[in-house]
Amino acid sequence: MNKFFLVFAILSTTACLGQTRSSRTFLLVHGAWSGGWDYARVDSILKTNGDRVYRPTLTGLGERVHLSNANITLSTYISDIVNVIRFEDLHNIILVGHSYGGMVIAGVAEQVPDRIHQLVYLDAMVPNDGESAQAVCGDLWNTLIAPNIKDGFVLYPFGSTKPAPPTDVPQPLRTYTEPLKINNPLVKQIPTAFIVMTKNGKSDPATNKMGVDRARARNWAIYSFEGGHYSMREQPQNLVKKLELILQK
């Protein structure tokens, strides 16, 4: 009987070891007006699974709102993320960008494509060479963004923000108007996926033009995800499951 339990223990240990995977590195980039706080619950879930997670806040947003000024540009944001990669010496990164964060991760990939294992555009902007976020917005700029521009900043356009942190804050206008140069051929070698949010199985035609339509034109892998635009806030567990699905491919 003792021998039986010994063999069982050895087999069980071997099975567990076979299921063990190496720790992955996630770098999560938030969208406009937001901050690294947006990914707090996603961070917790991934770390529980044994992964390393970085969720930096872009200059002047979130807990770095005290640094906010009208001279901050898209290049500032790209440098924020590139410097995290370089100073933390990150490699084989799963780089996720939500919404406006698509502009940022596109710029990051231009500079450090060798550090990135997977790109994930989470209901995000997909820029073409020479485009700004304003250009990517297209018609939505005049109806959604332009009415909320004040003193060199873009105010949160989706209703009232929370009265106390963590909350969305105004974002410098120049982060929307600076064009992005895209010409590094190595970026095309990075596996890239796009997550499109749907309601009753359908995505929004207005926002499709900023993201999923452009992703399809690039032959990226497309994943539908039922729910609202802020999946990391509303359903973090399901977002992690969706990321797992992408990484299994």
95: Cβ contacts below 8 Å, ≥ 6 apart: 27, 29, 105, 108, 109, 116, 118, 119, 120
Identity of the residue numbered 209: K
Active site residue 79: no
Give me 39's structure tokens.
């990914």
Distance of CA 234 to the CA centre of its chain: 15
Give me 13's structure tokens.
């240990």
Q: What is the rounded distance in angstroms from the CA atom of residue 236 to the CA atom of residue 96?
A: 14
Which of the following is catalytic: 22, 68, 99, 224? 99
Place of tokens 């071997």: 14
Distance of CA 228 to the CA centre of its chain: 15
Q: What is the rounded distance in angstroms from the CA atom of residue 242 to the CA atom of residue 236?
A: 10
Hey, which residues are catalytic here?
99
